[in-house]
Amino acid sequence: MPVGPVSDDSNSSAKAISEDSTTASNRIHEDKSPSILIKCVPLTSSLFAKKIHEQQEKIEESFTKARKFTINFPDGRSQIYLWRVEQLYERLRKIFDENKYDSNRFVVVDNNQIFIDFIKNNRLPHRLTPQYDIIQRDLLIPTHFYYKNNSFKYLITPNCEIADIIDHFIGENNVRSTSSDMYLCFFDKSGKIIEGGKMNEILKVNNNSLPFIVTVEEMASSTSTLCELTIQLSKGKYVSVSKLMLCSI
């Protein structure tokens, strides 16, 4: 029986599979390749820096009136006290003495989760909060601010909002812009401008590096710019505003 020509269907199928694989590979490669856009933007593009600039009114605390303070204890108890403001630290010391709390093990943080040193410091904070928590010292993390060749060290909990510790730094050191055109800007150690958020989330982005470093600079809104880095991914967009000196004019 004569044998006819061999069908080329198998070769065609193999070729089609190969082409499909190549197309799929290219598609995967395209999906994994991000596009990056870098452009200079005005300093006022940072809403956080703009908000800080607009809120720099000095708030005077009245230390003459009695206030209600809620104290949360390590065992879960909460108790409300009516104290004169100037007696706050004295009353906290008394609570530690009565409950035999070891100050090397337990500390006090305010409502913003910022450590209050009422043992070694008699100066009340610039802004009082209605609630104070007694927690274990090992829950605190260090945050260092660098401003005009000086360092300022604070202890906070991971639940602290970065805006609150920045406000604390500004108030405790009476930091003010030298003119209406000058903005106080806060950068992490990579040069990225800080835009708010809880410390535990910010630390994740910064590889949980401690102490958390904040560099403070005064910049002119009329002549300084930021560099906006936009990375377009296949499933969304990530935008980061960072300080790059090349963008300064």
Q: What DSSP assignment string belongs to 183-244?
A: EEEEE-TTSBBP---BHHHHHHHTTT-SSEEEEEEEEETTT-EEEEEEEEETTEEEEEEE--
Q: Is the pLDDT of residue 117 over 50?
A: yes
Higher pLDDT, 58 or 50: 50
Give the model's pLDDT for residue 232.
72
Q: What is the token pair recorded at 57?
A: 């009114």
Q: Which of 15-29, 51-65, 102-116 has the highest mean pLDDT?
A: 102-116
- pLDDT level of residue 248 (50, 70, 90 thresholds): very low
CA distances from 91 to 111, 116, 155, 227, 244 (A): 17, 13, 22, 49, 48
As a whole number of angstroms, the distance between CA 123 and CA 181 comes to 32
Q: Is the pLDDT of residue 200 over 90?
A: yes
Q: Which of 6-20, 21-35, 154-168, 176-190 has the lowest mean pLDDT?
A: 6-20
Higher pLDDT, 39 or 146: 146
Crossing angle, helix 47-54 and helix 162-172, to 10 degrees?
Answer: 40
Q: What is the token pair recorded at 32?
A: 């994994």
Give the model's pLDDT for residue 235.
65
Q: What is the mean pLDDT of the chain?
A: 83
- pLDDT level of residue 234 (50, 70, 90 thresholds): low
What would you report as the CA-atom Rg of the chain, rounded to the nearest whole angstrom? 28
Q: Is the pLDDT of residue 18 over 80?
A: no
pTM of the model: 0.78
CA distances from 59 to 86, 147, 171, 174 (A): 17, 22, 9, 11
Residue spans of the domains in the chain: they are 37-56+176-249
Give me the mean pLDDT over the 46-70 stretch: 78
- pLDDT level of residue 244 (50, 70, 90 thresholds): very low
- pLDDT level of residue 31 (50, 70, 90 thresholds): low
Give me the mean pLDDT over the 131-143 stretch: 97
